[in-house]
Amino acid sequence: MDFGSSRALLLACIVVLVESRYFMLNKDDGHFRKHHAPHDVKYTTKRTKPMESEFVSIDQHGQAYVNCTYNIDGVVGVRKCSMPSSDTAFDMGFACFALWNTDGEIIAQDCWIHQEVSLELCEKSRCTQGTGYGSVNFCCCFGHECNKKLEM
Tens-digit pLDDT string for the chain (152 aa): 555 555 555 555 555 444 444 444 455 554 444 444 444 444 444 444 555 566 788 888 888 888 999 998 889 999 998 876 665 544 456 789 999 888 888 999 999 876 665 667 787 778 877 666 778 888 888 889 999 988 76
CA 22 from centre of chain: 15
Pairing of strands 127-128, 150-151: parallel
* Residue in 131, 36, 138 with CA at minimum distance from that of residue 93: 36
- Number of structural domains found in the chain: 1
Contact between residue 93 and residue 115 where contact means Cβ atoms under 8 Å apart: yes
User: Measured between alpha carbons, how far apart are the two ends of the chain, in Å?
Assistant: 29
Domain boundaries, position 94: 3-151
> Within 13 Å, how many C-alpha atoms sit on residue 133's CB side?
14
Q: Kindly report the CATH number assigned to the domain that includes residue 51.
A: 2.10.60.10
116/26 Cα distance (integer angstroms): 21
CA 110 from centre of chain: 8
The torsion angle over the Cα atoms of residues 61, 66, 72 and 77, rounded to 10 degrees, is: 80
